[in-house]
Amino acid sequence: MSTFDLVVYILFLIFVAKLQFVSCRGSFSSDPSNQQQLDKVLDLPGQSFNVSFASYSGYVTTNKESGRALFYWFFESVVDPSSKPLVLWLNGGPGCSSVAFGLAEEIGPFHIEKDGKSLYLNPYSWNEVANILFLDSPVGVGFSYSNTSSDLLSNGDERTAAENLEFLLQWFDRFPQYKENDFYITGESYAGHYVPQLSQAIVRHNHNTGEKVINLKGFMVGNALTDDFHDHLGRFEFMWSVGLISDQTFKRLNIVCDFESFIHSSELCEKVQDIAEEEMGDIDLYSIYTPPCKANFSRPNHPQSGKRKFGILRIAYDPCTEEHSTVYFNLPEVQRALHVQDKSPSFKWETCSDLVSDNWKDSPRSVLKVYRELLRSGLRIWIFSGDTDAVIPVASTRYSIDSLKLPTVGPWRAWYDDGQVGGWTQEYDGLTFVTVRGAGHEVALHKPKQALTLFKSFLSGNSMPKLDLFSDS
C-alpha cells in the first residue's frame, strides 16, 4: 500500500469513527433518562461553595415544526428530594424570565453578587423544603427560543398554557422519578394568568386521558393579575389612599381606565397613567417605600404586569440585582454551563422581552371563570399579596376574591413569624388568602423569611402560624 493510500485509509477510518460517535451521541441524547444526565449542571461559574443538592438545566422542544424550545433550570431539594413535592415557578410580564426574577432574586438557592460574576447562597431558598423547577415561558423569554422568528410576535395566553403543558409532559418523561411526587404550581404577577390557566389545562388533560398523568395538588399565586376591572379599581384606590396621586387624577383614572385591559390599554388610559406617574415622582411602584436603583441600567419597559416604567427593587440589600443578573447570564461561560443553545457569538439574555410583551395576543380580561372551575376540582388554592405593591395591590386582590362570593371558614386575623406580625390571612371554602406585611410585588425578594414560612404552610395545607405564647415557668 502506498503512502498516499495509507493516508486515505486512515482518514476514512477517522471519518467512520466520527460518524459512529455522532450516531451514538444522538441516540444517547434522545433517551430521556440519559438526557437528564446531559442536562446536569456540573460547574457553575462563580460558585465558590459546595452544595448538597443537584441542579439541571436545558431545553424541552414544545413544537418541532417551528423549533420552539423552552428553557428550564431545576433544583433538587436540599434533603431527600425523592420524598419532597415538586414545585413549578413561573414569572409573568408577559415576557419576563423566571430565571431572572424567581430564581436569581427571590426563591432560588443561588443569588448574584454585585460584581455580576459571583454567587452566594440564599438561606431562605424554597428548595429547602421542595424540588423547584423554574421555566422561562413562552418562547422569546429568557433563554427560551424559536427557530421561527414570527413565533415571538404571536405569543398569547392560550398558546402559552398549551406549550407549558407540553413542556411538563416531556419534562416528566425526562425525569420520571418525580412523576409520583405531589406537584404544585406557583408564580407571581402576570403568572396570575399563567398559573391557573396551566392548572386548568392539567386538570382537563388528566380528565380527558382518564388518569392522573400529572399529580397536580394545587397552586399559589402572588400579587397576581386576576381580573382587569378589579385590579384597576384596587390599584387606583391604593395609589390614592397612600397619597401617591391627586384627587383629580384618581377620578380620571377610574373614569378612563376602569374597564380597560391591563395589557392592551387605550392611548387615553395610557396618557392618564402618565400623569399619575409624574405625580408619584421617582419611586418604585413595586415597592413604594424603598429607594430605587440608581445605577446606569435601563430596564425593559414592563413590570411583569402592565406597562409602567418602574424598576424592581430590594429591601435591606442591593436594589440593583437585576443589573447584576444581566451581567451574569450574558457571560459565555455561564451560558455554556447551563447548556444554553449555541448562538453566535452568544445568546443575548434579557430579564424581560419588550418584543414579547408589545406583541402579546390573547389576554382575557379575567381569569375568575378559571378559578370557579378549579374550585370544584379539589385543588389547594392560595393567593398571597405583598402590601407595599402598587402594581397589583392588596386591594385589587381582595376585590377579585370577594367577587367569587366564597363562604368564609376562617376569619380575618394576623399571622406571625418569630413572634412578629408577618401579615394577615383569611380562609375561604376552597381558597386561602395571605398578605405579607412590608413586602412589595416580589414578596420573596423583600421578605424572604416570611415568604418561606408562607410556602411551608401552603405545602402542608396548614393555616398560617398564630402567635405562640411562652411563659417563664
End-to-end CA distance of the chain: 99
DSSP H helical ranges for 113-246: 157-174, 191-209, 228-241
Cell numbers for 37, please give them: 444526565
Where do we find the cell 400623569? 275
* Paired residues of 65 in beta bridges: none
CA distance 41 to 59: 13
Separation CA 433–CA 211 (nearest Å): 30
Which amino acid belongs to residue 16?
V
Half-sphere exposure of 198 (CA within 13 A, CB side): 34
Say how far apart CA 46 and CA 57 lie, in whole Å: 17
Which among 146, 441, 446, 457 is annotated as catalytic? 441
Choose among 442, 425, 443: nearest CA to 434. Answer: 425
Q: What is the DSSP letter of 40?
A: B
Select from 473, 385, 391, 395 the least CA-distant residue to 433.
Answer: 385
CA dihedral 151, 155, 158, 163 (to 10 degrees): 50
Q: Helices 247-256 and 267-280 meet at what angle, rounded to 10?
A: 160
Q: Map grid coordinates 434522545 to a residue.
A: 30
Q: Look up residue 56 and give its three cell numbers.
A: 439541571
Cβ neighbours of residue 168 closer than 8 Å, sequence gap 6 or more = 88, 202, 214
Identify the active-site residue in 39, 228, 389, 417: 389
Which of 77, 97, 189, 353 does the annotation list as catalytic?
189
Question: Is residue 2 flagged as an active site residue?
Answer: no
Residue 472 designated active-site: no
Question: β-strands 131-136, 119-121: how paired?
Answer: unpaired
| Residue of 57, 70, 66 whose CA lies nearest to 165 | 70
On the question of a cis peptide bond just before residue 94, with omega within 30 degrees of 0, the verdict is: yes
Cell numbers linked to 86: 415538586
Asked whether the CA dihedral 89, 217, 31, 65 is positive or negative, the reply is negative
Query: What is the Cα–Cα distance from 225 to 188, expressed in whole angstroms?
Result: 8
The DSSP H or E segment spanning 275 is helix 267-280
Catalytic annotation on 429?
no
Write out the three cell numbers for 364.
382575557
Active-site annotation, residues: 189, 389, 441
